């Protein structure tokens, strides 16, 4: 064992210091808390008290069983998520490669060498076999360690990016499903309006045939019917396109909506407001940006180490002989130890440029990290503003629709009794149809805003029951 002392001692010196700057998380360039708007006391909502979105699994946030099934299907089939998982495997492998460079690679080999130093000199031979270490770098200044740390941070950033992809996917599926429910509700309203207008056209045609109504009223009735038909075609097209979008997100057929599932009956829980802004640190996209910053910081240490000597070791231990036949005979033990140190002298500014590039990349990573926090803060603030106002907007819009429905019934009654003109009836029909459509859109915006708030606060992340990578 004493004969191994030089090699073992040299390898034990690896990783003695690091030239990377001390990492400090930048201060978040946002306020300490999110702005909070007063919420109407009569706004209906289910509450999830004392539970932050980041700890709330999507299985609990979405009560609709069919929606939960679609989300589970998307987590198994979605190609974007598969790409994100494959990126993790690639980053993990790259990290393992960098980590392996911190330890010597030991192999078994047999080599032979024959040489002569002159025409009249005898040929010298040397044959060796045994364990060998080739060009192992002594990491005295932390270059290899910092490269390994940077690869680890890149791997962790990729893992966080995969979580962000899953959160985005869950929200996208939920929003597409809510949009599909809205399409079906708009279809029902449009079909009912079309039937009403077709009946009005039939009665107007009878009145015209009997000389009671004018051609002007008849054409107005036909115009309303054709307008409803155009709206119906556009709504059917929009529903088909939204089905296609949901199919793309889910990665397979989505089937028909279950009987009784309507947008009007769908409720999502309100999320607590007045939360501190440091909750943003739990968002995977912000954690990914921070890992990118950590990797850039470690790369500065690796770039600084390029200014110092790079020491590599090549050695072997085993059997050695001047004759091939005596290579494995008793007493043929031998070892070699060949260190090499290279100190850069003239590199024409290459190392300085590499260090400058690493510092610039660190500054870019800092700016990107701060920008991601600012963007996240704005997203949460916007969603909180929506949570405080969409419920009141929906209440008011439904009240408008109820008033317009009552006005239409009164206008229809007055027209049949000759107390109102046909123009009054047509105006009431148009206003009712518009108010009903706006009520559906207001409800859709309210529910989609709740999904957005859940997403931007970092909710929606949980491990799939069966990881895609295993399939």
Half-sphere exposure of residue 177: CA atoms within 13 angstroms, side-chain side: 29
Question: What are the C-alpha distances in Å from 432 to residues 186, 349, 399?
Answer: 13, 75, 11
Runs of H (alpha helix) within 46-142: 58-61, 65-77, 79-100
Q: What share of the chain is helix, strand, coil (3-state, %, to 5)?
A: 60, 10, 25
Q: What is the pLDDT of residues 303-360, one digit of tens each?
A: 888 888 887 878 778 787 777 666 677 667 777 777 888 888 888 888 899 899 999 9
Taking 80 as the threshold, does the pLDDT of residue 220 lie above it?
yes
pLDDT tier, 388 (very low <50, low <70, confident <90, very high otherwise): confident
- DSSP letter (8 states) at residue 77: H
Query: What is the predicted pLDDT for the residue at 444?
Result: 95
Return d(Cα 222, Cα 211) in angstroms, integer.
Answer: 17
SS3 48: coil
pLDDT tier, 44 (very low <50, low <70, confident <90, very high otherwise): very low
Q: What is the pLDDT of residues 79-120, one digit of tens each?
A: 888 887 888 888 888 888 777 777 777 887 777 777 777 777
Closest of 243, 239, 248, 241 to residue 74, by C-alpha:
248
Query: What is the predicted pLDDT for the residue at 471?
Result: 33
Taking 90 as the threshold, does the pLDDT of residue 242 lie above it?
yes
**339 contact partners, CB below 8 Å, separation of at least 6:** 10, 311, 312, 313, 314
- CA-only gyration radius of the chain, Å: 36
Taking 60 as the threshold, does the pLDDT of residue 6 lie above it?
no
Q: Domain 2-22+37-112+122-470 belongs to what topology?
A: Outer membrane efflux proteins (OEP) (1.20.1600)
Return d(Cα 318, Cα 105) in angstroms, integer.
Answer: 16
Return d(Cα 67, Cα 73) in angstroms, integer.
Answer: 10
Q: What size, in residues, is the chain?
A: 471
Closest of 66, 30, 24 to residue 283, by C-alpha:
30
Q: What is the pLDDT of residues 173-196, one digit of tens each?
A: 999 999 999 999 999 999 999 998
Instruction: For the chain, give the percent of residues with pLDDT over 90.
Output: 24
Query: What is the predicted pLDDT for the residue at 37?
Result: 59
Taking 90 as the threshold, does the pLDDT of residue 420 lie above it?
no
pLDDT tier, 272 (very low <50, low <70, confident <90, very high otherwise): low
Closest of 282, 29, 54, 20 to residue 152, by C-alpha:
20
pLDDT tier, 47 (very low <50, low <70, confident <90, very high otherwise): low
Query: What is the predicted pLDDT for the residue at 7?
Result: 47
Q: Which range has the top average pLDDT, 269-273, 326-330, 408-412?
A: 408-412
Q: Which helix (H) or strand (E) holds 126?
A: strand 124-138
Instruction: Provide the mean pLDDT of the chain.
Output: 81
Half-sphere exposure of residue 346: CA atoms within 13 angstroms, side-chain side: 0
Matching residue, tokens 């999320």 = 271
Show the CA angle centred on residue 260, arms to residues 257 and 262, nearest 5°: 75
Taking 60 as the threshold, does the pLDDT of residue 469 lie above it?
no
Instruction: For the chain, give the percent of residues with pLDDT over 70.
Output: 84
Query: What is the predicted pLDDT for the residue at 179?
Result: 94
- φ, ψ for residue 36, nearest 5 deg: -125, 125
Among 215-224, 278-287, 364-373, 382-391, which is the least confidently predicted range? 278-287
Mean pLDDT of 148-177: 89
Q: 103: burial class by Cβ within 10 Å (0-12, 13-18, 19+)?
A: exposed
Taking 50 as the threshold, does the pLDDT of residue 43 lie above it?
no
Closest of 315, 361, 365 to residue 339, by C-alpha:
315
Of 30 and 443, more confident? 443
Show the CA angle centred on residue 155, arms to residues 304 and 85, nearest 5°: 155
Q: What is the DSSP string of 213-248?
A: S-HHHHHHHHHHHHHHHHHHHHHHHHHHHHHHHHHH
């Amino acid at each position: 064992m004493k004969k191994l002392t030089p090699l073992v001692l040299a390898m034990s010196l690896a990783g003695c210091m690091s030239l990377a700057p001390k990492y400090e998380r930048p201060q978040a360039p946002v306020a300490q808390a999110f702005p909070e708007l007063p919420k109407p006391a009569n706004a209906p909502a289910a509450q999830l008290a004392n539970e932050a979105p980041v700890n709330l699994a999507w299985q609990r946030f979405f009560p609709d069983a069919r929606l939960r099934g679609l989300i589970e299907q998307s987590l198994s089939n979605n190609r974007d998520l598969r790409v994100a998982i494959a990126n993790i495997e690639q980053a993990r492998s790259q990290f393992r490669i960098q980590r392996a460079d911190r330890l010597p690679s030991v192999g078994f080999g047999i080599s032979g060498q024959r040489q002569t130093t002159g025409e009249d000199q005898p040929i010298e031979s040397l044959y060796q076999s045994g364990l060998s270490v080739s060009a192992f770098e002594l990491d005295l200044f932390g270059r290899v360690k910092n490269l390994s740390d940077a690869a680890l941070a890149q791997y962790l950033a990729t893992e966080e990016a995969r979580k962000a992809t899953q959160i985005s996917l869950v929200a996208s599926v939920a929003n597409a499903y809510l949009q599909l429910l809205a399409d079906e509700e708009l279809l029902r309203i449009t079909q009912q309006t079309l039937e009403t207008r077709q009946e009005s056209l039939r009665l107007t045609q009878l009145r015209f045939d009997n000389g009671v109504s004018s051609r002007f009223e008849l054409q107005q009735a036909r115009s309303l019917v054709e307008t409803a038909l155009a709206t119906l075609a556009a709504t059917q097209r929009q529903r088909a396109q939204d089905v296609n979008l949901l199919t793309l997100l889910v990665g397979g057929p989505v089937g028909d909506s279950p009987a009784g599932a309507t947008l009007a009956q769908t409720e999502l829980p309100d999320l607590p407001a007045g939360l501190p802004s440091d909750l943003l640190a739990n968002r995977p996209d912000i954690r990914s940006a921070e890992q990118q910053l950590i990797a850039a910081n470690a790369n500065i240490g690796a770039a600084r180490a390029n200014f110092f000597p790079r020491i590599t070791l090549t050695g072997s231990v085993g059997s050695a002989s001047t004759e091939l036949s005596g290579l494995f005979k008793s007493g043929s033990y031998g070892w070699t130890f060949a260190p090499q140190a290279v100190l850069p002298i003239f590199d024409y500014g290459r190392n300085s440029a590499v260090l400058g590039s690493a510092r610039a990349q660190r500054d870019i990573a800092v700016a990107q990290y701060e920008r991601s926090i600012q963007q996240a803060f704005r997203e949460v603030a916007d969603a909180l503003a929506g949570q405080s106002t969409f419920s009141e907007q929906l209440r008011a819009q439904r009240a408008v629709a109820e008033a317009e429905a009552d006005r239409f019934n009164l206008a229809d009654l007055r027209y049949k009794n000759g107390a109102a003109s046909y123009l009054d009836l047509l105006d009431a029909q148009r206003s009712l149809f518009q108010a009903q459509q706006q009520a559906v859109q207001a409800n859709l915006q309210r529910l989609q805003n709740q999904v957005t708030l859940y997403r931007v606060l970092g909710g929606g992340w949980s491990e799939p029951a069966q990881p895609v990578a295993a399939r």
